[in-house]
Amino acid sequence: MPTTTTQRLRRTDLPLLLIQGALDKEINATPDSTLAVVRETPHASVVSLAEAGHFANMEQAAAFNQILETFLAGANYDR
């Protein structure tokens, strides 16, 4: 039986980070299912970048990198 990405995310015990570009019209058109998975997933967090679209890592590179560095610094790699 195939496993969906959603099922895998719900089962993981690894730290997860979703960086959401607030101006991403495609993804944000239906964010409820994605956000529901994140809320149900242990060790998951969501950060929204107000002035970024789909390519948040390029549009707001400094802010994106700071968020990612903070996340990685706090991640537990002893699993």
Domain boundaries, the chain: 18-74
Tokens in use for 12? 């993981």
- CB-count exposure of residue 28 (10 Å: 0-12, 13-18, 19+): middle
Contact 17, 71 (CB under 8 A): yes
* 16-69 pLDDT tens trace: 898 988 898 887 666 676 777 777 787 888 888 999 999 999 999 999 999 999
For tokens 């560095």, name the residue.
Answer: 69
Answer with the residue of higher pLDDT: 30 or 14.
14
State residue 67's pLDDT score: 96
State residue 75's pLDDT score: 74
For tokens 């967090």, name the residue.
Answer: 45
H or E element in which residue 18 lies: strand 16-21
